[in-house]
Structure 1
Amino acid sequence: MKTDIQYSTAEEALSVVQSGQRLFIHGSACTPLYLMRKLAEQADRLRDVELVFITVQGDIEVQKPQYQDSFHINCMFVSAPIREAVNSGRADFIPVFLSDIPDLFNKKILPVDVALVQVSPPDSHGYCSLGVSVDIARSAVNMAKKVVAQVNPNVPRTHGDGQIHVSRFTHMVYYEEALPEVDYGEKTGADELKIGEYIAEMIEDGSTLQMGIGTIPDAVLKALTNHKDLGVHTEMLSDGVIDLFESGVINNRKKRIHPNKGVTGFAVGTKRLYDYVHDNPAIAFLDIDYVNDPHVIRRNPKVIAINSAIEVDLTGQVCADSIGSIQFSGIGGQMDFMRGAALSEGGKPIIA
């Protein structure tokens, strides 16, 4: 199936957006920042446009106070660019398990009028890739009435569930820009490295790893260089896995599902990571309702789920999403993997 490739201007493409509609915004390093800037330029003609997404990166122009009559953010994870908007009351937050979000689209609990995504250029067969953010984007693209794609040659072509034929796009806008980068290793200090060493001692050879967001999971990866036959089934990847893949510490040979292949929903890191996952058949980016399903997670042996907490009280209750009355992040996939690891044969859920 081939289709002629025709590109539109951003102004023409975004003309499909109308007042009162709900828009899905692609997230993480694939946040379509150019389309978001161009959408802000159309604020005068738009009112009450709802924007739904999980983690976004970069400067999100439409979250600024001057656009609040035109755009309303209704996010399902509070990331740094929109944290102030949520906590000041300009934006809303929906507390929901990451694995449940695709069902909100699939069952039309949150019907999507227009999806704005950022993809790789089409291949010779006309297929683009959702790059390093397949997660909930796959379901949103499937269910949206219209899809507008920012086509960027810097988006990696990843293997898995992220292939979309150009015939699915209402409009394609070509715009090249660097993807946002986060270097968790750069922020890792002596305390994090020591915690990483303690956790590494709990990890047996042949374990399957899930790493959450932050410096501590990255510090754990730095302490695993002498381990053997590790696997990966995680909602996110960071730069810390690259050296372990290349040294053979991570080879995914002991996994029961997807053996010889690492599984993730999205990746956040530096250009080195984005280059590494490009056209890499050893890593599959899959729909998050599968990746984060505890019944799927438990099928691998020795699942080690490594996640961070903001606070742990004297009774053992863990808080990972808020600081007092301040909403810091969200529910995400932490509970999905804590449950999955606990159910896994020889698994260990770990909170640092």
Structure 2
Amino acid sequence: MVWFKAGPLFEGSEKLSAMYKAKLVSPAQAVSIISSGDNIILPPGAGEPEVLVEALAERRTELKDVRIHQMLPLREATYLKQGMERHFRHISWLTSSVIKRGVKEGRAGVMPGYLYEYPELIKDLDVDVFMGTVSPMDEHGYFSFGTSVDYTIAAAGCAKKVILLVNPNMPRTMGYSFIHISQADLIVEDNSPLLEVPKPTLNKIDQTIGDYICQLVDDGSTIQLGLGSVANAAAQCLKEKKGLGVHTHFVTDTIMDLVECGAITNRRKNLHPGKIICSSAVGSQRLYKFMNNNPLFEMHSVSYTNDPMIIAKNDHMVAINSVEEIDLLGQCASEPIGPKLYSGTGEQVDFARGAMKSRGGKTIVVLHSTHKGRTKIVPALESGSVVSLSRNDVDYVVTEYGIAKLRGKTYRQRAEALIAIAHPDHRDGLAEAAKKAGLTR
């Protein structure tokens, strides 16, 4: 299904048209340049070139130890399945549910790091091939990486070979999202729908959390919204706000909804006024269509969007992210719970630190108080758990039972504030644990 026309592709330049045709090949021909031991980089999310990835999997008996680096895969590609590990190894920079099993079983690896550093880290890799989905070429010979800018410009710039999958369903986004045909070695065409992530459903707990978030977000604030379902669902309550701006890594359907209802205008931003500054889009076909040729959105590399020093230049910056667990000191775990490492850090630390340095900024972490009857506010994180946000990076914590202000508080005050927003069934146990640990009297 193609839901918008690409427009006149090659008007005004026979040279560009000839160059395009000379590089146009089939998926099988494109991936034939890949050899055993190669390092391949794919864009995250909807930018994954599915046709090329599946064509590569067809060559599995010819290949060994091909390393595929990617952030946030949205589907279980053939090469990720059990039995493929002799031929392909996935290196995850930010995992999703489709890859966690492979990481746990040792069939895939995780490269931790702050997201804003990834374009620099890529330069230290010996990148053999970059493969990514782009919008159709314009009359000047440029393609857009559309939904998935992130680290793609850096990867394409240092790869020995660049393969572009041209798909008219990929939106043409503004900003620093473009690559010229002269930079491509091979071109493949496809018109498959882009990969989607469903919008989270707002339940009563999320509604309550959203009401508390609304108390913390002032009109005119610039917001960042993480990918967590709790944060996205709760943030739908921001529709009553006025003059919000956006500086974020991921754009979601929730952001689009807030634009359409008039809550997000970006007019009060002191940095890039009038623009949503972002690096990636993860959502529905409606979101991708909304972004096509829309000057409201300005895409940048994560080296810019996620740099805490850049984030901090936004006055009244508010970072809103979900966490999995928090202990009574304020340490947050958003990756593995326990010793099994299966996830990367994501954008939380980048934005938490940037928001804390912003004039009038806030960082808000949100979570349900329990999961399947188990408290998510715990006396101490389980041994081996990775601390995603240190106790020094946490400002406000929100559950369905209220708001805990941690920044500038003693350990005792932190423990008491967190116990007060825990589920009532677990407060006595947490209070007893706090006394044993010497946090309270």
Query: Where on the TM-score scale, by shorter chain, does this alignment land: which range?
Result: over 0.9
1:101 offset after TM fit, Å? 0.6
Partner in structure 1 of residue 193 of structure 2 = 178
C-alpha distance in 1 between matches for 2:309 and 2:146: 26
Partner in structure 1 of residue 99 of structure 2 = 82
C-alpha RMSD of matched pairs (Å)? 1.3
Partner in structure 1 of residue 132 of structure 2 = 117
User: Secondary structure at 1:185's aligned position in 2?
Assistant: coil
Which protein has the larger Cα radius of gyration, Structure 1 or Structure 2? 2
Partner in structure 2 of residue 298 of structure 1 = 312
Unaligned 5+ residue runs, structure 1? none
Moved >4 Å (runs of 4+) = none
Unaligned 5+ residue runs, structure 2? 1-12, 367-441
1:50 offset after TM fit, Å? 0.9
Partner in structure 2 of residue 273 of structure 1 = 287
Superposition TM-score, scaled by structure 1 size: 0.96
1:326 offset after TM fit, Å? 3.6
String of CA shifts for 1:315-352, please: whole Å, max 9, x gaps: 11100111223445320111000000000000001111
CA contact (8 A) 1:118 1:152 kept: yes
C-alpha distance in 1 between matches for 2:268 and 2:132: 35
CA contact (8 A) 1:100 1:289 kept: yes
> Which of 190, 194, 206 does residue 192 from structure 1 map onto?
206
Deviates more, 1:3-12 or 1:284-293: 3-12
Deviates more, 1:112-121 or 1:177-186: 177-186
Partner in structure 2 of residue 36 of structure 1 = 53
Partner in structure 2 of residue 14 of structure 1 = 31
Confirm or deny that 1:207 pairs with 2:221. Answer: yes
Partner in structure 1 of residue 82 of structure 2 = 65
CA contact (8 A) 2:110 2:343 kept: no
Partner in structure 2 of residue 128 of structure 1 = 143
Amino acid at match of 1:24: I
C-alpha distance in 1 between matches for 2:277 and 2:137: 23
> Which of 319, 327, 330 does residue 316 from structure 1 map onto?
330
Superposition TM-score, scaled by structure 2 size: 0.77
CA contact (8 A) 1:119 1:130 kept: yes
C-alpha distance in 2 between matches for 1:317 and 1:218: 22
1:66 offset after TM fit, Å? 2.3
C-alpha distance in 2 between matches for 1:249 and 1:225: 5
C-alpha distance in 1 between matches for 2:342 and 2:320: 19
Confirm or deny that 1:94 pairs with 2:75. Answer: no
C-alpha distance in 2 between matches for 1:130 and 1:14: 20
CA contact (8 A) 1:49 1:72 kept: yes
Identical aligned pairs, as a percentage?
A: 38
C-alpha distance in 2 between matches for 1:59 and 1:222: 29
Amino acid at match of 2:27: A
> Which of 260, 264, 277 does residue 246 from structure 1 map onto?
260
String of CA shifts for 1:78-98, please: whole Å, max 9, x gaps: 112211111100111111111
Matches within 5 A, 1:198-237: 198-237=212-251
Amino acid at match of 1:231: G
> Which of 48, 56, 74 does residue 65 from structure 2 map onto?
48
Partner in structure 2 of residue 153 of structure 1 = 168
C-alpha distance in 1 between matches for 2:84 and 2:95: 19
User: Secondary structure at 2:272's aligned position in 1?
Assistant: coil
Amino acid at match of 1:16: I
CA contact (8 A) 1:158 1:278 kept: yes
CA contact (8 A) 2:102 2:108 kept: yes
CA contact (8 A) 1:83 1:327 kept: no
User: Secondary structure at 2:40's aligned position in 1?
Assistant: strand
User: Secondary structure at 2:32's aligned position in 1?
Assistant: helix
